[in-house]
Structure 1
């Protein structure tokens, strides 16, 4: 049974990874190249860099597919074990898990370690940033679990009350992070609007990747029909 969840996760990740890689090749890489040129005031060598840009695009698409496959596989495994604990029904559970994953892997760490722009000065060295990022991922996972538990604990009072209860831990995380000192300073040569646009593209692209994985996984899960049973069903059957 777990193999089916893993297969669906990998398939969903492949589809999402292709879309993500194409986006990075067509939008992300040109934006980074433009920002690097702006940061270094370099506007030449367009013809000399044509081959390098093509290679970078191909690598980005391949990397996007690999990242999508890894993410999708982990998503399928996590869904297999956490499905009974997730609120909602059907495909909604996949989106809840995707939201929790996005919060844990990206949002929570980015609150203190925002996506770095070209030329940005870091207050922490690489090793320390990796440790902080991992710690913030753990914090994000705890906040996600708290949000799910809060939702389930008051779900009987209505969806609105449950939604407010679920958002509360996330708001607390955001407030706590806003009190911490910034860990990166954008390059002064870059306009604030450009920095904001870059970070917005990074955030939205990752959010879209999680949404695509959840949507494709949910669709594949529905296509499984009667051969797809929840973990709760499996547990009940084993205890019978």
Structure 2
């Protein structure tokens, strides 16, 4: 089995973070390919950057997915998730959708913590889109992080610990989704110090991808996730144009 992990921002160090987390839950017979965006934002933090990341995610998927059995979208806004599911005939897993789905298996109610001023509303919208908002408590956020903190998230672990335990105590959150690809290493860092399960989505997405490949579910032939109809799409990248000329 071969999994393709896509980071559609332009930061190679983020790809290295998420790939390292992904490899901790790979089965022995599974190989991982990790790719980084060429175009877009170094760290995606708002709606317009999310739109850029969605286009880059589609480009990367169509270019690199051949020969792979599933795709993991390693960006916490799940940028372009539905488009990838339409255009590919293999499973595509978004990390935040995977984190939320897994949280519901270990908790009746979960909350989500991220960073930055733009992200809270976007994550709340994701929960509604996935039909999970009834189980979502609060969406909380740290202030924007410095470049040093983004590269070394352990620097904000004290603030995160305090925020998480306050949410558990004050609002009875039973699990926490810590959103942001930069937090992919939380399992060896902050998670053991907390009183409830904490999920990031990278490892959960890898586990779900492996399960879906083994289930070998059929690609929909009808509905919104069937392959797109042939069309003369014009785009700077040949892989995207070819996907619409002769979907496969």
Is this a same-fold pair by TM over 0.5? no
Q: Which has the larger radius of gyration?
A: 1
Q: Considering fraction of residues, name the structure with more helix.
A: 1
Which protein, 1 or 2, shows the higher relative CO under an 8 Å CA cutoff with sep ≥ 6? 1
TM-score range, shorter chain: under 0.3
TM-score by length of 1: 0.25
Q: Considering fraction of residues, name the structure with more strand.
A: 2
TM-score by length of 2: 0.24
